[in-house]
Chain A
Amino acid sequence: MAVSGLVFLGYLVLHMYGNLKVFAGHDSFNEYAHHLRVFGEPMLPENGLLWIVRVLLIVALVTHVYAAVVLTARARNARTSKYVVKKNLASSLSSRTMRWGGLTILVFAIWHLLHFTVGKVNPNPDGTGTADPYNLLVESFELWWMSIIYLLAMFALGMHLHHGTWSAMQTLGLTGTARARARAKTAGWVVAIVIAGGFALVPLSVLTGIVSK
């Protein structure tokens, strides 16, 4: 769980870095998008790096989901008779919503891939097609409901990362002292805010007109 989660985390950092290129303008962003495909050439074939990353992500996904299913099943079986009254004292909302939050993110990821990668749909009726990544992005987020979907998803991601980061450090045995524990909790906040916030900046900037065609 922890290791596959950290793979995702690493990927998200790279992904977010790419997204933020949007602030560098149309050409810079598109060049980056193109560069991803030819990265490592001629050592790697075209799209080679992307496929390596994709395979890695799929392995991580299978592992992550498998672990989640096993853990959920164990938890279910560990308490088949529920409490009539049960209070939560110390747990964060994020820790209690990991399963539903994870599922939400999975559904979003599929939608997101359909939108930008596999399906390449430009939902904007005034759109200019899907060939230009920068324009596709901006035109998509100019639609308020698209931005809302992405912002909600980033909220779910932030929550998942908030608990996930700390939890991964705990699972890896890196939080053996009270100080290390406090640091890991802080790391959870930092990762959640930086990554979810970093991603959210793009639709927000489009909506507010900071980024435009």
Chain B
Amino acid sequence: MNLTLKIWRQPDTSAPGAMHTYQVEGISPDMSFLEMLDTLNEQLNEKGEEPVAFDSDCREGICGMCGMMINGQAHGPEVTTTCQLHMRSFKDGDTITVEPWRADAFPVVKDLVVDRGAFDRIIQSGGFISANTGSAPEANSVPAPRDKAMRAFNVATCIGCGACVAACPNGSASLFVGAKITHLGELPQGQPERDSRVVGMVGQHDHEGFGGCTNIGECTAACPKEIPLDVISQLNKDLRTAMKHGH
């Protein structure tokens, strides 16, 4: 396959960026999208041009490090992570536009690399259960209803990639926050801090400069782990409950 790539290049956070056009040849349909970019980078290196910077680590769809906007879709045309997108989803001769996640809360570090430190700070503001090592009771002393545990697991599969923010027309991270609220709120261990968690996390979310949710639903469609929209409903419900309790 031969392809035309239009890629956002930006030297660092403060410098202006622009789209650059590159041609790549001899792309195999079995390559992953990132391996295609590896190939481009080898070619650029040979020509003496600096390779395109992009994030990736596990390359098996679980670490959440990779992510870019491909032809206007977060992680590209399949419901998966960029590393698991394969070139057989494209046709010979295609032009592919590649951009970084765009959100002011995720400043571009370089080219396609963005800083998602805001997610860490949201977790720091309440996305945990306070249980010091050694203080835990016997694991089976508190049964957790199976359906609740399943729901907790289903939303705990969030990989923190940021696709929800990238896809949201409002630049909101409500799906990310809602997933954590729901995960911990469904478990008996998560109850004592349920109110303070949602208040803290939502406060930090807003403070980071993410947009507000208007329930459009682009986030869940872009989510490689298919986190459902009902976590945002849960988030709102928990927030209302917390406010009722005087938070």
Contact = CB atoms under 8 A, between A and B. Distances in A.
B34 interface: no
B170 A171 contact: no
A84 B90 CA distance: 20
Contact of A86 (B69, B217, B235): B69
A61 to B, nearest CB: 18
Contacts of B229: 170, 175, 181
Chain A contact patch, size range = 35 or more
Interface in A141-187: 163, 166-167, 169-178, 180-181
Interface in A78-106: 78-92, 95-96, 98
Interface string B91-107: 00000010100111100
Interface of chain B, helix or strand or loop or mixed? mixed
Contacts of B105: 78
A173 B167 contact: no
Interface in B1-46: 6, 8, 19
The 8 A-B pairs with the shortest beta carbon distances in the complex, nearest first, are A173-B237, A78-B171, A90-B221, A78-B211, A87-B72, A85-B72, A75-B170, A167-B215
11 contacts: A75-B170, A78-B211, A81-B104, A84-B19, A84-B97, A87-B72, A88-B218, A92-B217, A95-B214, A175-B233, A176-B237
Given A91-B216, A91-B218, A173 B240 contact: yes
Contact of A78 (B8, B170, B232): B170
Nearest to B208: A78
Contact of B216 (A96, A169, A177): A96
A77 interface: yes
B127 to A, nearest CB: 19
B82 interface: no
Nearest to A168: B215
Contacts of B71: 85, 87
A72 to B, nearest CB: 9
Nearest to A91: B216
B212 A91 contact: no
Interface in A37-85: 70-71, 74-75, 77-85
B72 A90 contact: no
A172 B215 contact: no
Interface in B173-216: 206, 209-216
Contacts of B6: 84
B73 interface: yes
B100 to A, nearest CB: 9
